[in-house]
């Protein structure tokens, strides 16, 4: 993230952020809290007051789950502030598709998604183009484009999705 981006997100000027970054000044607590918010962290995380061993385990029974009967998903990553990527496992019934009323909303601008098919077939429809995938195949695409997955097969299909949020397109 650039200083300008952080300035826009935090409401702290870029010159002030630059001075803090270079160690030329220390921010007030109020300003530090705004900087932390711009980084999607708590103040204690920014100041590293709540340091742990750096490991977060999500047990199988603790996964965040969603979807309906035709498309189910489980979020495999912990809900940590500032986490810029999410890994999820999706299960599609035969002849089912994602983008139903129980599915999560479209990803934020600049997001990228990589999907790995565990059992297929799985069809990605993205920006009007169709991509047929089989077990072991993977695909990476701009996740803020209109897209959905379909299972054209006669049995359940499973795939992993890794979404990296807010990355700039180069």
Question: Is residue 170 very low, low, confident or very high in pLDDT (cuts 50, 70, 90)?
Answer: very low
Taking only the tens place, the pLDDT of each residue in 42-88 is 787 777 655 566 788 889 999 999 988 999 999 999 887 667 899 99
Question: Is residue 2 very low, low, confident or very high in pLDDT (cuts 50, 70, 90)?
Answer: confident
Instruction: Identify whether the C-beta of residue 151 lies closer than 8 Å to the C-beta of residue 98.
Output: no
The C-alpha atoms of residue 114 and residue 119 are separated, in whole angstroms, by: 16
Q: What is the pLDDT of residue 137?
A: 98
Q: What is the pLDDT of residue 57?
A: 87
Question: How is residue 164 written in tokens?
Answer: 């990296």
118 against 106, higher pLDDT: 118
Q: What is the pLDDT of residue 17?
A: 92
Taking only the tens place, the pLDDT of each residue in 96-110 is 999 866 666 678 888
Q: What number is the average pLDDT over the span 159-167?
A: 87
Question: How is residue 8 written in tokens?
Answer: 């826009």
Q: What is the pLDDT of residue 55?
A: 81
The C-alpha atoms of residue 79 and residue 58 are separated, in whole angstroms, by: 10
What domains can be seen in the chain, in order of their start residue? 3-46 (no CATH), 60-164 (2.60.120.10)
The C-alpha atoms of residue 70 and residue 92 are separated, in whole angstroms, by: 6
81 against 22, higher pLDDT: 22
Q: What is the pLDDT of residue 167?
A: 58
The number of residues making up the chain comes to 170
Residue 7 main-chain phi, psi, to 5 deg: -60, -45
Residue 102 main-chain phi, psi, to 5 deg: -95, 0
The C-alpha atoms of residue 55 and residue 78 are separated, in whole angstroms, by: 10
Taking only the tens place, the pLDDT of each residue in 120-161 is 899 999 988 999 999 999 999 999 888 999 999 999 999 999
The C-alpha atoms of residue 30 and residue 99 are separated, in whole angstroms, by: 41
Q: What is the pLDDT of residue 42?
A: 78
């Amino acid at each position: 993230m650039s200083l300008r981006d952080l300035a826009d997100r935090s409401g702290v000027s870029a010159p002030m952020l630059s001075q803090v970054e270079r160690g030329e000044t220390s921010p007030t607590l109020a300003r530090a809290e705004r900087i932390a918010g711009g980084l999607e962290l708590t103040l204690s995380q920014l100041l590293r007051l709540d340091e742990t061993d750096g490991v977060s385990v999500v047990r199988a029974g603790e996964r965040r789950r969603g979807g309906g009967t035709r498309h189910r998903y489980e979020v495999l990553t912990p809900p940590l502030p500032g986490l810029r990527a999410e890994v999820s496992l999706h299960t599609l019934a035969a002849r089912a598709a994602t983008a139903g009323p129980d599915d999560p909303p479209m990803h934020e601008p600049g997001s990228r998604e990589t999907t790995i098919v565990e059992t297929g077939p799985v069809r990605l429809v993205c920006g009007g183009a169709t991509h047929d995938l089989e077990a072991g195949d993977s695909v990476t695409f701009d996740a803020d484009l209109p897209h959905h997955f379909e299972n054209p097969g006669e049995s359940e299909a499973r795939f992993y999705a890794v979404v990296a949020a807010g990355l700039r397109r180069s």
